[in-house]
Amino acid sequence: MERFNTRTATLHGHKLSYLDSGTGSVVLFIHGILGSHRNWAHLIDRLDDNHRVIVPDLFGHGHSAKPMGDYSLGAHAATLRDLLDRLGIERVTLVGHSLGGGIAMEFYYLFPERVERLVLVASGGLGREVNRVLRSAVLPGAELVLPVIASGWVRARAETAGRVMSKVGWKPSSDITAIWQGFTSLGDGESRRAFLATTRAVIDPGGQSVSAHDYLPDVLPIPTLIVWGSRDRMIPAWHAIRAQQSLPHCRVELFEGAGHFPHLDEPDRFAELVREFVATTRQEEPPSAFGG
């Protein structure tokens, strides 16, 4: 049972669900594909004693609406900007995981004056490579296959197998738990359509199709923390090192032994990193435009 009550804001005629807790400088968390606020909820009470923590479900995910329309990085970034406007929030620290990292970078590119610092966690948009499971979602016929593998029958048998394995000592990793929670959200047609639209906006059969390296060298410097798990099987950890080519002053923290969800593997360490990063970095003047 969740400890925090979800709120809703109606943006452009569609309901967006979010959590809002604490007071102080604002930290906005952005989940990845198949994610929701549940991927971050455990961090709220680790940070909301001196920060205001905003944790939305992106459109197409969680409790938010799943409309027909644009699921590109820019569309998600604009939605988050609209949410901040609705809440009367001027500037934030953005914490983005996987797809959410790509959205965070897009947000900064589009609305630099609204961002104080970036925290990118196993972020998309920093290299071509991505797990073949996500690449398969963009192949022809995925619309026909997904309803079968996301059916109640398949989910029930997988859950039964999980219970049997747990009796002999098997414990699912943070990656498996989080991905399974996301997978179980695909039981209805609207959620599957939104998942496919979101995935196809950033991935093609060869890998990630949107690269932040195309524009990051041209943006004004901003305090940036990159966090990755050394055993990430969704997006390779060496993307963090490559990111330093485009963000030469960024800080990289590698969680040894963690997977694609390092904030779930080591939540206390992650929360302390974010807290310390916010406390020790500051952007002197909000940029009004890029260049120069």
Is 193 within the bounds of a domain? no
Residue 178: which of 111, 259, 112, 236 has the closest Cα?
259
Per-residue pLDDT tens for 199-224? 999 999 999 999 988 887 777 789 99
Which domain does 43 fall in, by range? 7-131+210-280
Is 153 within the bounds of a domain? no
Is 254 within the bounds of a domain? yes
- Where do we find the tokens 């029958």? 153
Residues in the chain: 292
Per-residue pLDDT tens for 38-54? 999 999 999 999 999 99
- What's the pLDDT score for residue 213? 83
Q: Looking at the DSSP assignment, which residues form a beta bridge with residue 56? A: 18
* Active-site residue, 268 included: no
- What's the pLDDT score for residue 171? 64
Q: Looking at the DSSP assignment, which residues form a beta bridge with residue 54? A: 20, 28
**151 has pLDDT over 80:** no
Helix (H) or strand (E) holding 96, with range, is strand 92-97
CATH assignment at residue 31: 3.40.50.1820
At residue 281, what is the residue type?
A: T
What CA–CA distance (Å, rounded) separates 135 from 130?
7
- Catalytic pick from 17, 36, 98, 123? 98
Looking from the CA of 147 toward its CB, the CA atoms found within 13 Å total 7
- Catalytic pick from 57, 175, 232, 265? 232
Task: Give the DSSP letter of residue 214.
Answer: G
**Confidence band of 258 (pLDDT split at 50, 70, 90):** very high
Question: Judging by DSSP bridges, how do beta strands 92-97 and 115-121 pair with one another?
Answer: parallel
Cβ neighbors of 27 (< 8 A, separation 6 or more) are: 47, 51, 52, 53, 54, 92, 93, 95, 274, 278
In the chain, pLDDT over 70 holds for what percent of residues?
86
Is 148 within the bounds of a domain? no
Per-residue pLDDT tens for 15-39? 999 999 999 999 999 999 999 999 9
- What's the pLDDT score for residue 291? 42
**Confidence band of 196 (pLDDT split at 50, 70, 90):** very high
Residue 52: which of 86, 83, 89 has the closest Cα?
89
Helices (H) and strands (E) counted in the chain, each on its own, are 11, 10
**Confidence band of 117 (pLDDT split at 50, 70, 90):** very high
Write the CA distances from 99 to 3, 35, 75, 234, integer angstroms: 26, 9, 13, 11
**Which string of DSSP letters, residue by residue, matches 41-63?**
HHHHHHHTTTEEEEEEPPTTSTT
3-state SS assignment for residue 77: helix
Is 175 within the bounds of a domain? no
Domain total in the chain: 1
* Active-site residue, 98 included: yes
Check residues 163 and 1 and name the one with the higher pLDDT. 163
- What's the pLDDT score for residue 187? 84
- Catalytic pick from 31, 51, 260, 263? 260
Is 240 within the bounds of a domain? yes
* Active-site residue, 31 included: no
Is 248 within the bounds of a domain? yes
In the chain, pLDDT over 90 holds for what percent of residues?
66
Query: Residues 71-92: what's their mean pLDDT?
Result: 97
Is 165 within the bounds of a domain? no
